[in-house]
């Protein structure tokens, strides 16, 4: 039976999904968290050693870029000595780059001073590498080195995965890039109740809030026989919208990733 009031299925990793669902509920939207990406610390000993070394030498970089709030959270562990904490960046000239407000919030929580953080403005069309580069490009010249802190899709993924586009822009400007994996991403392990929810939401009018192409791939993997022709998706980037259409979602809408616009878009879908 179709849902009669705005309901969103939030597919971000658990920490973000829980917060987004709570914020949407406060807005009057019956949001449910269904994390489609599992997040955890890196487990490969070699990757953990690389991470420790990167933490110890951030002052060697003109900038450190964190791809997400999870990258910040796992790079600045709660039990990390003060010398390696976000507060230590205050004693260096190292800038801290973030692609969007969620990452900025995680960095501030980790102790990074806001005046050291560069990020796209709140009115940016997207919160991604392209928008970030427009802000930070003037910082990079020949010989400058940037550390990109990201996630790994597998325990053996050297340096992690993602942000190659940004690395190419830095290289073209004469700089150089090092990568380090601060956390691992993986497929979710959905329980029976979550699987029932996902199957029902494929046709009951729920709005799937999709903020990652990887989450879409994981959804297809856990429900390989599911038909998505009656499902509605709200995506926060053109590349994610393309992935949702390729997965078979019958209705795909796009909006900026800012919370107020996401909430308004969910509400408007129920008014149509």
- Would you state the pLDDT for residue 152? 87
Q: Nearest to residue 103, comparing CAs of 143, 137, 148, 141?
A: 148
Q: Which CATH class is domain 40-186?
A: alpha beta
Identical fold at 7-37+188-224+235-271 and 40-186?
A: yes
- Would you state the pLDDT for residue 111? 86
- Would you state the pLDDT for residue 93? 84
- Would you state the pLDDT for residue 169? 95
Provide the CATH number for the domain formed by 7-37+188-224+235-271 in this structure.
Answer: 3.40.50.10090
- Would you state the pLDDT for residue 272? 59
> Going residue by residue through the chain (272 aa), what tens digit of pLDDT does each one get?
455 567 899 999 998 899 999 999 999 999 999 999 999 999 889 999 999 999 888 889 999 999 999 999 999 875 454 334 555 555 568 999 999 998 999 999 888 889 999 999 988 888 889 999 999 999 999 999 999 999 987 554 444 445 889 999 999 999 999 999 999 998 999 999 999 999 999 999 999 999 899 999 999 999 999 999 999 999 998 999 999 999 999 999 999 888 999 999 999 988 75
- Would you state the pLDDT for residue 158? 45
- Would you state the pLDDT for residue 90? 55
Answer positive or negative: Cα dihedral of 24, 28, 29, 35.
Answer: positive
- Would you state the pLDDT for residue 257? 87
Half-sphere exposure of 54 (CA within 13 A, CB side): 28
Q: Domain coordinates of the chain in residue numbers?
A: 7-37+188-224+235-271, 40-186
Count of all residues that appear for the chain in the document: 272
**If you write DSSP's letter for every residue of 106-136 in order, what string do you get?**
HHHHTT--GGGEE---TT-S--SHHHHHHHH
């Amino acid at each position: 039976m179709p849902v009669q009031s705005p309901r969103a299925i939030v597919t971000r990793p658990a920490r973000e999904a829980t917060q987004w669902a709570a914020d949407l509920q406060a807005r009057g939207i019956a949001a449910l968290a269904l994390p489609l990406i599992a997040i955890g610390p890196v487990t490969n000993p070699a990757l953990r050693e690389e991470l420790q070394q990167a933490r110890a030498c951030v002052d060697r970089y003109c900038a450190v870029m964190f791809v997400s709030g999870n990258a910040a959270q796992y790079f600045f562990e709660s039990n990390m000595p003060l010398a390696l904490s976000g507060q230590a960046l205050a004693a260096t000239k190292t800038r801290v780059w973030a692609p969007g407000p969620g990452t900025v919030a995680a960095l501030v929580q980790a102790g990074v001073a806001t005046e050291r953080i560069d990020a796209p403005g709140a009115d940016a069309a997207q919160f991604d590498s392209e928008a970030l580069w427009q802000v930070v490009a003037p910082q990079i010249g020949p010989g400058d080195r940037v550390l990109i802190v990201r996630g790994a899709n597998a325990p053996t993924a050297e340096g992690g995965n993602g942000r190659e586009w940004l690395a190419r822009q830095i290289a073209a400007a004469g700089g150089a890039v090092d990568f380090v994996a601060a956390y691992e991403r993986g497929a979710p392990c959905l329980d029976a109740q979550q699987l029932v929810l996902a199957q029902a939401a494929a046709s009951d009018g729920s709005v799937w809030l999709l903020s990652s192409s990887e989450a879409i791939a994981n959804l297809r993997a856990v429900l390989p026989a599911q038909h998505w022709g009656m499902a509605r998706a709200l995506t926060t980037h053109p590349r994610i919208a393309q992935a949702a259409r390729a997965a078979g979602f019958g209705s795909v809408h796009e909006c900026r990733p800012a919370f107020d616009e996401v909430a308004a878009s969910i509400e408007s879908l129920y008014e149509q």
